[in-house]
Structure 1
Amino acid sequence: MLEGKVVIVTGSGGGIGREIALAMARQGAAVVVNDIGASLTGEGASTGPAQQVADEIKAAGGRAAPNTDSVADAASAERIVEQAVQTFGRIDCVVNNAGILRDALFHKMSGDEWDAVLKVHLYGAYNVSRAAAVHFREQQSGSLVHMTSTSGLIGNLGQANYSAAKLGLTALSKSIALDMQKFNVRSNCIAPFAWSRMISSIPVKNEEQQARVEKIKQMTPDKIAPLAAYLASDAAADVNGQVFTVRNNEIFLMSQPRPLRSIHRAEGWTPQTVAEHAIPALKASFIPLDRSADVFQWDPV
């Protein structure tokens, strides 16, 4: 489905990114395997992971080039895109998968922990997408696939930085879809459920949390790749601005914020009438303080 296309997959030295890079190559794409080779918290660097995945693709008869530039820096992100164009002649798809974690309860979160996560997830997706957008506009085609998370779409404990970045990423994707649809450029999101290095950092403090971790372990990263490869292909030409979730063998189309219920008062509102009339009328439709695990309670199938 991707014969002749060139794809960048950020953070593809392992886990979900690696499986997406391999799937893209199996479908005929030339792949720029981007990974700085850092730790889960974004510290340190190594050329090893990107090189290993690129070598794996080549050994299977595919085309690939490793890249170790950081998505968090705009100039570095431009180099990722330029490498794709210079090595393979064009760029057709970017998968924004690179990520780090710096989990902490909100009242204990430092400014550095906030900045580091937003720089990689939100700024990183913007930086690489913006660099690719120049080429997409010129060639009148392109696809962006962003890895969001139910931590942002629904909520999670101890991840204010990660959740804010991931929900911001869905808004970024929608804005790109609106702004660039006239150039035949598409932008979609996937919220993946899969056991990976990032998920392995989930704290396990009781039997409930242990059960959740064991459930996630059943969901392997390769389950995410088929949807990502499809979204990069011409077969997805009419799929734009959507948010999907993949959970083992299940694919979900996620809702996006829309009005649920309204209340009108012809003479306008005062704080008192809001308390006495508006909120009691609307309260039945309030969204509960769910976490991702509260919404996705059933066993993966």
Structure 2
Amino acid sequence: MSGPLLCEGRVVIVTGAGRGLGRAHALAYAAEGARVVVNDLGVGLDGTPGPDSPAARVVAEIRAAGGQAVAHGGDIATTDGAASLVRTALETYGRLDTLVNNAGFLRDRMLVNLDEDDWDAVLRVHLKGHFLPLKHAAAHWRAEAKEGRTPRARVVNTSSGAGLLGSVGQGNYSAAKAGIIGLTLVAAAELGRYGVQVNAIAPAARTRMTERTFADTMAAPGADSFDAMAPENVSPLVVWLGASASTGVTGRVFETEGGRITVMEGWRPGPTADKGARWTPSEAGDTALKLLAEAEVPGAVYGAG
């Protein structure tokens, strides 16, 4: 006999949910009883508009399986689009419990070849596309809390190993994903008083963004082998983080891929020295070298060497 559904009665927004990780998250939430707002602008890998409606297809999948879902095709990196996203949840289902920020695309170039437009476009969709839906959802939850209806709200942001370690050829993407971690920490600290928990994941999975950039490691295995890079492997943690069962977990970053979940530990003080007075440049350099000799070696940048 199966147990109670983890997200029964909850209303969940998933951005960029037409394909890949977002689609997997939307389907997984619906399978656990959530009513899902499926957002997708329907753009190509580089952010240009596409001819189809992937959000509508995912909604159809959810409804065919007996779930409830509604499509939203607005641009969540605009104020109007983000506001209408939250409004869609409230007008359709009367509440909002969880926001999963997932939308994004790539425009990979080495730094010396990276155009300003490609920098701006990637920062816009990933970082601004996290900030604006978070801002509008948080405003709703704050108003609810002030009216005495403190929610058990959840936000799951999507960073990347590129944001934790860097990735050669992805300076714009790495900067955006690192920014998402900073935004997550601030939001967790600011919004806790309103009943909102905010966490981030750094997933590794086969999507339109990764299957070309990391073709060898993202390839699907044979039929009888565990597909470690399937996006569906990431969704169980995302569903739990978006459920009321995750009470008390906030301001954390999880790396997840295949069957592995890792709690990532961010910047912490390492070796230190204090002269109690101003260093000369030579003294500062000698001291820095001594401290580096005692410090842990940082993880390698993806694609380096």
2:280 alignment partner in structure 1: 270
CA drift of 1:46 comes to 4.3
1:190 aligns with 2:201: yes
1:297 alignment partner in structure 2: none
1:155 alignment partner in structure 2: 166
1:53 aligns to what SS in structure 2? helix
CA drift of 1:288 comes to 4.0
- Give yes or no for contact 2:41–2:73 (8 Å, CA) kept in 1: yes
In structure 2, C-alpha distance between the alignment counterparts of 1:256 and 1:136, rounded to whole Å? 28
Amino acid in structure 1 at the alignment position of 2:88: Q
The one-character-per-residue Cα deviations of 1:20-59 (angstroms, maximum 9, x if unpaired) are: 0001111111000000111011101445200000011011
- Give yes or no for contact 1:263–1:282 (8 Å, CA) kept in 2: no
1:40 aligns with 2:45: yes
CA drift of 1:281 comes to 3.1
Report the count of equivalent residues. 288
- Give yes or no for contact 1:245–1:254 (8 Å, CA) kept in 2: yes
The one-character-per-residue Cα deviations of 1:116-148 (angstroms, maximum 9, x if unpaired) are: 001000000001010101111133221110110
1:299 alignment partner in structure 2: none
TM-score, normalised with respect to structure 1: 0.91
Structure-to-structure mapping, 1:211-226, within 5 angstroms: 212-214=217-219, 218-226=228-236
1:254 aligns with 2:257: no
1:23 aligns to what SS in structure 2? helix
In structure 1, C-alpha distance between the alignment counterparts of 2:240 and 2:40, rounded to whole Å? 22
CA drift of 1:287 comes to 3.9
Amino acid in structure 2 at the alignment position of 1:236: S
Residue identity (%) = 38
1:229 aligns to what SS in structure 2? helix
CA drift of 1:268 comes to 2.7
In structure 1, C-alpha distance between the alignment counterparts of 2:103 and 2:115, rounded to whole Å? 22
Bigger shift: residues 54-63 or 136-145? 136-145
For residue 282 of structure 1, the aligned residue among 274, 277, 292 is 292
The one-character-per-residue Cα deviations of 1:226-274 (angstroms, maximum 9, x if unpaired) are: 0111011111011000000111001110011111110121333111111
- Give yes or no for contact 1:33–1:50 (8 Å, CA) kept in 2: yes
> CA 1:46–1:127 in 2, change beyond 3 Å: closer, same or farther?
farther
In structure 2, C-alpha distance between the alignment counterparts of 1:160 and 1:191, rounded to whole Å? 17
2:14 aligns to what SS in structure 1? strand
2:300 aligns to what SS in structure 1? coil
1:181 aligns with 2:192: yes
Bigger shift: residues 219-228 or 257-266? 257-266
1:230 aligns with 2:240: yes
1:60 aligns with 2:70: no
1:123 alignment partner in structure 2: 128
1:82 alignment partner in structure 2: 87
CA drift of 1:289 comes to 6.5
1:272 aligns to what SS in structure 2? helix
- Give yes or no for contact 1:50–1:66 (8 Å, CA) kept in 2: yes
- Give yes or no for contact 1:8–1:95 (8 Å, CA) kept in 2: yes
Structure-to-structure mapping, 1:16-35, within 5 angstroms: 16-35=21-40
In structure 2, C-alpha distance between the alignment counterparts of 1:46 and 1:97, rounded to whole Å? 21
1:144 alignment partner in structure 2: 155
In structure 2, C-alpha distance between the alignment counterparts of 1:283 and 1:25, rounded to whole Å? 51
In structure 1, C-alpha distance between the alignment counterparts of 2:228 and 2:301, rounded to whole Å? 20
> CA 1:235–1:218 in 2, change beyond 3 Å: closer, same or farther?
closer
Two-structure CA RMSD over aligned residues (Å): 1.8
CA drift of 1:215 comes to 7.9
- Give yes or no for contact 2:10–2:33 (8 Å, CA) kept in 1: yes
In structure 2, C-alpha distance between the alignment counterparts of 1:61 and 1:72, rounded to whole Å? 31
- Give yes or no for contact 2:228–2:259 (8 Å, CA) kept in 1: no
In structure 2, C-alpha distance between the alignment counterparts of 1:215 and 1:33, rounded to whole Å? 26
In structure 2, C-alpha distance between the alignment counterparts of 1:138 and 1:57, rounded to whole Å? 31
